[in-house]
Amino acid sequence: MEEKIIEIMKDNGIDIVATLPCGKAKSLFYLIPQHFHEVALNKEEDGIGICAGAYLAGGKPAIVMQSSGLGNSMNALMSLTRTYELPLPIITSWRGVYMEQIPAQIPFNKNLPKMLKAFDIPYTIIDDKSKINLVENVICDAYKNSRTHVALISPKIWGNKQEEAELTERFPKRERETILEYKKTIHEPEMTRYDAIKTIAEYLDEEAVVSNIGEPSKELYEINDRELNFYMLGSYSQASSIGLGMASKTKRETVVLDGDGSLLATSVLPTIAAESPKNLSIYCLDNGTLGSTGNQLTNAYSGVDMELMAISAGIEETKKVHTKKELRSTIESVYDSTGPRFIHVIVKPGIMGTSLRNIKLTPEQIKRRFMKAMRG
């Protein structure tokens, strides 16, 4: 059955697969990296953003995960995938229903079909080997109708190949050396976030840009609206995930305008380091607050050093800047090194003010003009 699912995915043009494994379907997860570009997730929700970015850049993504991961992903599915009408087939190992031995799997998963129905997300139950071809219907429907479609695959169809997979797995050598010398000072900020975005925007040419939800997107729209800007209207914490997905499916330089609050809420930085996209630059505009919701302090204000967090995740090209002069110098030399690049920009709390315009584009308009510009 596992080989048949792989065959169906390949026949339908899937070219990038975000995964977070389930023990009941371990043979399927063993096969995926042999046939696709696999992005191994630390958190299922990050996969929603990665797949969105990959699709916007011309890819054909899918997610394969345990059904429990849908509980972690609903906000992103509704505020990103649904809002922008993006196609996303999700193939899950449906836990909590068939001979489940783990009590914690039951409360959520037994009610999962009701939840999907409540959110108007199509789903297909595959509880017999004779129904495995329905995976193709799931993929085709998702892409034909630009929506999420979930395959709930019962563990009873997976067969007994788990032990075989374990015997054939091979692990590369893990031995490595980590040397870190880090001593930096976070100074009092001089720039506002608006100042920083305005400075970055002056250097934009053919880059694809993902701007974080709320005020950062409004500020970029005010400063330099362009077709290659993807404005986020929702899906908190998904900016860098979308950027990773984009960078994985285009050679175009990809820029993410993210924030300290958003990055603290995601697990994507280690995934970015592992994927190591050469064309991705993340500007962490760190005002130490949740700037779009009233400037409540984040853990970055007086505790977490965001640059050090990126380094510890495995990102090697990092920089910390405090002034416009430092930011300009960094931008002017940013492409001297290959990505992923992480630029930690210390900015003041606060927003531009009440004069900031709302984005006068619908989600559909943002998506269509961005994808057209990417093709161009």
CATH number (domain holding residue 15): 3.40.50.970
Q: How far, in Å, CA of 175 to CA of 194, rounded?
A: 44
Q: Classify residue 155 by its DSSP letter.
A: G
Q: How far, in Å, CA of 22 to CA of 45, rounded?
A: 16
Residues 243 and 307 in one domain: yes
180 located within any domain: no
The answer to which of 155-159, 190-194, 285-289 has the lowest mean pLDDT is 155-159
The answer to which of 73-77, 122-126, 236-240, 286-290 has the lowest mean pLDDT is 286-290
Question: pLDDT of 281-324, one tens digit each?
Answer: 999 999 998 877 777 899 999 899 999 999 999 999 999 999 99
In the numeric block, which tokens belong to residue 102? 């783990």
How large is the average pLDDT for residues 194-210?
Answer: 97
Q: What percent of the chain has pLDDT over 70?
A: 96
How large is the average pLDDT for residues 202-215?
Answer: 96
Cis amide leading into 340 (omega within 30): yes
pLDDT at residue 132, rounded to an integer:
95
Residues 280 and 370 in one domain: yes
Confidence band of 353 (pLDDT split at 50, 70, 90): low
pLDDT at residue 1, rounded to an integer:
85
Residues 17 and 121 in one domain: yes
Total count of domains within the chain: 2
Residues 319 and 262 in one domain: yes
Per the structure, the complete domain to which residue 245 belongs is given by 193-375
- Per this entry, what is the length of the chain? 376
Confidence band of 253 (pLDDT split at 50, 70, 90): very high
pLDDT at residue 259, rounded to an integer:
95
Residues 14 and 162 in one domain: yes
pLDDT at residue 167, rounded to an integer:
47
pLDDT at residue 351, rounded to an integer:
73
Q: How far, in Å, CA of 216 to CA of 266, rounded?
A: 18
pLDDT at residue 344, rounded to an integer:
98
pLDDT at residue 332, rounded to an integer:
97
pLDDT at residue 354, rounded to an integer:
55
Q: Classify residue 191 by its DSSP letter.
A: B
368 located within any domain: yes
Residues 30 and 104 in one domain: yes
The answer to which of 152-161, 167-176, 236-245, 249-258 has the lowest mean pLDDT is 167-176
Q: What percent of the chain has pLDDT over 90?
A: 85
Q: How far, in Å, CA of 186 to CA of 352, rounded?
A: 23
